[in-house]
C-alpha cells in the first residue's frame, strides 16, 4: 500500500534524526566482551555459533543467541568499525517500529476501535501511526539501539512481532519458524507464546461476548 510506504519513509526520517548521534558511538561495556569472541575472526565458521555460548567462557550463564552472533559475524565482513554495527541496529529498530504499525493496524479499526475478528474490516489508522512513532522515540529503547549487544533484543522483537502477524494471518507454519528464529536471537522471546495464547483466546471470544459476560458478572455481584 502507498500509505505504508509513506509511513516507513516517515519512520526512517524520524528514526535517523533521533538516533543519528548513535552512529558516532564506539564499542562499550558488553560490546567489548561479546565482540572479542574469537569466533568473529575471518576464519570463523557459521556452524560454530550453534555450539558455543553467547559469552566466551560463560557456559554457566546459559545464554544461547546464535542468530545474533551470526549477524555480528556478517557485520565484521564490512570491517571492524562500530559504524556499520550501529547502522544495522538503528535500521532494525525502524523496521520493528514499522511492524508495530502493521500489528496495531490488524487489531485496531480505522476509526480507532478494537477490531472484532471476522466482523470488522482491517484498516490503517492514526492510532497505528501514533503507536509506531511513540515506540520509535521512546527513551527506554536507547540502550537496545545504541548498544551493539542490544541487537539481541532487536532481533528477538522483530521475529516475535512477525510471529504474531503471521499467526493473525493464520500462517501457523511460518509463525512457528519466526518464533524459532526469535528464540535463537534471545531467550526472552519465549514470552511470545503466551501472547499467541491471548490472541487465540481473543479470536475465540470476541470483545462483544467479553463485554456481555463482564456485564452479567457485574450485575450478579451487585
* pLDDT tens, residue by residue, 11-52: 999 999 999 998 888 888 777 777 776 555 555 666 666 666
The verdict on residue 99 lying in a domain is yes
The verdict on residue 218 lying in a domain is no
Calculate what percentage of the chain has a pLDDT beyond 90: 40
How many residues appear in the chain? 222
- The torsion defined by the Cα of 40, 43, 47 and 52, in degrees rounded to 10, comes to -50
* Confidence at 65, pLDDT banded by 50, 70, 90: confident
The verdict on residue 45 lying in a domain is yes
Least confidently predicted of 58-62, 105-109, 135-139: 58-62
The verdict on residue 107 lying in a domain is yes
In angstroms, how far is the first alpha carbon of the chain from the final one? 50
pLDDT score of 31: 73
Query: Is the pLDDT at 148 greater than 80, yes or no?
Result: yes
pLDDT score of 37: 63
Domain around 135: 2-211
Listed in sequence order, the residues at least 6 apart from 54 whose beta carbon sits closer than 8 Å to its beta carbon are 34, 61, 63, 64, 65, 68, 69, 152
The verdict on residue 221 lying in a domain is no
Arithmetic mean of pLDDT, 198-209: 65
The verdict on residue 217 lying in a domain is no
Number of domain units in the chain: 1
The verdict on residue 113 lying in a domain is yes
> Which residue did the predictor score with more confidence, 92 or 40?
92
Amino acid at each position: 500500500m502507498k500509505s505504508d510506504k509513506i509511513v516507513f519513509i516517515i519512520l526512517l526520517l524520524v528514526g535517523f534524526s533521533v538516533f543519528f548521534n548513535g552512529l558516532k558511538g564506539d564499542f562499550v561495556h558488553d560490546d567489548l566482551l561479546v565482540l572479542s569472541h574469537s569466533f568473529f575472526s575471518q576464519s570463523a565458521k557459521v556452524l560454530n555459533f550453534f555450539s558455543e555460548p553467547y559469552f566466551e567462557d560463560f557456559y554457566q550463564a546459559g545464554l544461547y543467541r546464535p542468530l545474533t552472533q551470526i549477524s555480528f559475524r556478517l557485520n565484521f565482513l564490512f570491517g571492524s568499525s562500530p559504524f556499520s554495527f550501529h547502522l544495522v541496529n538503528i535500521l532494525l529498530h525502524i523496521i520493528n517500529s514499522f511492524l508495530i504499525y502493521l500489528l496495531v493496524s490488524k487489531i485496531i479499526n480505522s476509526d480507532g476501535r478494537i477490531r472484532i475478528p471476522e466482523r470488522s474490516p482491517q484498516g490503517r489508522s492514526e492510532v497505528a501511526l501514533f503507536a509506531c512513532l511513540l515506540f520509535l522515540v521512546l527513551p527506554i529503547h536507547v540502550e537496545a539501539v545504541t548498544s551493539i549487544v542490544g541487537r539481541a533484543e532487536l532481533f528477538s522483537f522483530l521475529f516475535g512481532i512477525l510471529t504474531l502477524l503471521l499467526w493473525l494471518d493464520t500462517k501457523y507454519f511460518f509463525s512457528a519458524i519466526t518464533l524459532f528464529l526469535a528464540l535463537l536471537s534471545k531467550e526472552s522471546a519465549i514470552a511470545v507464546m503466551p501472547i499467541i495464547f491471548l490472541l487465540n483466546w481473543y479470536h475465540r471470544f470476541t470483545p462483544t461476548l467479553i463485554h456481555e459476560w463482564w456485564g452479567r458478572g457485574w450485575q450478579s455481584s451487585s
